[in-house]
Homo-oligomer: A and B are copies of this chain.
Amino acid sequence: MARVVVDVMLKPEILDPQGQAVQRALPRLGFAGITDVRQGKRFELEVDGPVDDAALARIREMAETFLANTVIEDFNVKVES
């Protein structure tokens, strides 16, 4: 059993009010020195069987067609060690 992680973030040019709200709150909470915050999603997939190239290709397709909406989001697939 292996874990594959898919990170989905809004594209850089898209406004991210959630990240901004976090960033704006930080100084109030006494945390300085953070110049930007972006908030995205993290999916942890438990995969049955080996995570070979074929499996990864399938997961990439899944991320592209389903987990992310590529009109607004970028994604990244990685195998967790």
Q: Which residues of B contact A36 (CB under 8 A)?
A: 44-46
**Which residue from B19, B22, B41, B55 sits with its C-beta under 8 Å from A40?**
B41
Q: How large, as a class, is the contact surface on chain A? A: 20 to 34
Q: Is the CB of A44 within 8 A of B38?
A: yes
Number of this chain's copies in the assembly equals: 2
Asked whether any CB of chain B lies closer than 8 Å to the CB of A29, the reply is yes
A55 surroundings in chain B (CB, below 8 A): 33
Does A48 contact B35, Cβ atoms closer than 8 Å? yes
Binding site for B on A (CB under 8 A): 1, 7-9, 19, 22, 25-26, 29, 31, 33-49, 55, 58-59, 62, 65-67
Among A7, A29, A44, A66: residue with most chain B CB under 10 A: A44
